[in-house]
Structure 1
Amino acid sequence: MSKMIPNQTVPDFTVPMTDGGQFQLSQRAGDNFTLLLFYRGLHCPICKGQLRDLQRKLEDLAERGVTAVAISMDEQKRAEQSASNWGIDELMLGYGLSEETARELGLYLSAGRPDSSEPELFSEPALFLVRPDRTLYFASVQSMPFTRPPLDQLIMGIDYALANDYPARGEIA
């Protein structure tokens, strides 16, 4: 598994979205950052709470020049169910992330348990802030579904970073 290093270029990728459009990283950059939130999928109740929280924060993020998108490896039907069942119709919701792209991004992958509603293969949670030039600024990559970065703290960090021209940390490979 490769690991994304701050200040390195994030691979460009494209995923379809539940609104019928597409999200391509190189074409959807925020003025300051693109927030990529990778979630486990429809089967994950913790993801439901996290994506609802993200939708509530979209305006706060937009005021800071941050474009946000949530992405999973789910199939279209499951992603559409997530959008509908979770009430996240304002959030850009991408689906169909390929295993190859998930590995390129350094996401942890899990096999679905046969006694659950988990898909056969899915990525574990991750959150990236990517600069408009597609370099990685911040990464939180998790191997388990619990303990997500609080979005309020992330927004405070974005405020600090923008006000103080704070450099990416963890950049030494």
Structure 2
Amino acid sequence: MELSKAKNFQLKNTDGKQFDLYEYQDDSLILLVFFRGEWCKDCREQLTELNANYLWFKKKNIKIVAVSSDDQLFTSILREIIKSKFPILSDHSWKIFELYGFKRPTDEKRIKPALFLFNAKHQILYKHIGKSKKDRPSIKSLKKLCDNN
């Protein structure tokens, strides 16, 4: 079944506080990024680019949230390394990945990057599931997409 509405979830953030997606969203658009892990060079590059463009997204009333299958320690390390201005969350149990329709692979290197853009009514406006670890929309194409929504 095709996911048409973004599902709410709660996870502990890197500070140990409860994060609730819908509460965080308010009336903003959300750019939800699923990534492979701290160990993934392409993922770190994508998150670093998103972080460098954080103010652009903020001015457009778009909040970024990233979710990894890493454990809390590696998620915290990555957040510190890139000095992330947006939440980077650990879903080591795979509950959120599964909520969004992903099956746990036998090898975590097979995790495909994914990105969802949804509005305040939780309607998914855009979805990209990568076919490979490098298959991700560029910042330029994301900005163009966001300008049109």
TM-score scaled by length of structure 1: 0.76
Mapping for residues 40-119 of structure 1, pairs under 5 Å: 40-84=36-80, 86-96=81-91, 98-107=93-102, 109-112=104-107
In the other structure, the counterpart of 1:156 is 144
The offset of 1:102, in angstroms, is 1.2
Which deviates the most, 135-144 or 59-68? 135-144
Deviations 1:80-108 (A, max 9, x none): 12123x32332311112542331221235
Equivalent position of 1:144 in the other structure: 132
- Bigger mean CA deviation after superposition, 126-135 or 45-54: 126-135
Supply the distance in 1 between the matched residues of 2:120 and 2:92 (Cα, whole angstroms): 21
2: distance between equivalents of 1:158 and 1:23? 24
Question: Aligned in 2, Cα 1:100/1:17: closer, same or farther, shift over 3 Å?
Answer: closer
- Residue identity matched to 2:32: L
Aligned length: 149
Q: 1:39 aligns with which of 26, 35, 39?
A: 35
Regions of 4+ moved over 6 Å: none
- Calculate percent identity across the aligned residue pairs: 23
CA distance in structure 2 between the partners assigned to 1:55 and 1:43 by the alignment: 18
Do the aligned residues in 2 keep the contact of 1:16 with 1:95 (CA within 8 Å)?
A: yes
Over 3 Å counting, the alpha-carbon distance change for 1:141 and 1:35 in structure 2 is same
> Once the 2 structures are TM-superposed, how far is the Cα of residue 23 of structure 1 from its aligned partner?
2.6
1:110 and 1:123 in contact (8 A); partners too:
yes
CA distance in 1, matches of 2:33, 2:84: 16
Unaligned runs of 5+ in 2: none
Which has the larger share of helix?
2
Q: 1:128 aligns with which of 116, 119, 122?
A: 116
> TM-score normalized by structure 2?
0.87
The two structures, once aligned, show a CA RMSD in angstroms of 2.1
Structure with max Cα Rg: 1
Distance 1:20 1:100 in 2: 18
Secondary structure of 2:140 counterpart: helix
Q: Is the 8 A contact 2:113 2:135 kept in 1?
A: no
Q: Deviations over 1:51-92 (max 9, x none)?
A: 0001011100010010111111111111112123x3233231
Deviation for aligned residue 1:136: 1.1
